[in-house]
Amino acid sequence: MNNFIVGISTGNKDVEMSAGEIECSVLNSEFINQCNEHGAQVIILPQQQITSINLKGIDGLIVTGGGDINPEMYNQIPDETIERVDNLRDSTEINIFKTAEEMKIKTLAICRGHQLLNIYKGGTLYQDLEKAGFQDIDHQKPYENARKHIHEIKIEEDSKLNAIIGNESIEVNSIHHQGIDKLGKDLKITAKSPDGVIEGIETTNEWNAIGIQWHPEYLDDESTNKIYNWLINS
């Protein structure tokens, strides 16, 4: 194991403990296992009310998936499809992005994190893909399908993601009902699904960050291995 340290954001969940039901910071252990397998140590970054997030000592960052982002973050009124909003998580991870950009920490943003990266840079979301007209592919597959390849994505040739994965198309899983609409500042689109949903973005400034709409932590495939190698070993 090397000295590379990955900071990973967490969500909160009510957990039954000896003192009753307690709200806890939770992280899918798949993230820890995959980082360890690629030689990195992990530090968990929980939700907190501190606005100035200190990431000193962290070499790489993963901002993870989870519930919907409050549409008020991108100046929209929440519709009836919005679920599992956590305002403290939204603000914590925005502050994590801010510090990561200031410190130029290599960042991998996954699913919700991919969407929040776009919001952090001034972009917006489709609150529900099906309502927005994306109906050719069922992006909101049941969670039990998280470990399956659901649809193909096309990767832009001139992109970090293409350089990382080395292919112009791969198969990915899909467990989301929202997607990127208006693209934020200093970002470019790097991948789309066949129906036009944005599946990958990356920064165009000095901050080395990529966002992906799928969940590599659930997949044991070549592209997942290459993404973790990019984050930790490149």
pLDDT tens-place string over residues 184-218:
999 999 999 999 999 999 999 999 999 999 999 99
Q: Report, as residue numbers or ranges, the catalytic residues.
A: 111, 215, 217
- Check whether 132 has a pLDDT greater than 80: no
> Residue 46 class from Cβ within 10 Å (0-12 exposed, 13-18 middle, 19+ buried)?
middle
Domains defined for the chain, CATH in brackets: 5-233 (3.40.50.880)
Where do the H-state alpha helices sit in 45-202?
Answer: 87-103, 112-120, 160-165
Residues 149-169: what's their mean pLDDT?
94
Q: Is the dihedral of CA 7, 65, 172, 221 positive or negative?
A: positive
H or E segment to which residue 184 belongs: none
Whole-number pLDDT of residue 15 = 87
Tally Cβ neighbours within 10 Å of residue 181.
17
Q: Is 173 helix (H, G, I), strand (E, B) or coil?
A: coil
The two beta strands, 20-26 and 41-45, are: unpaired
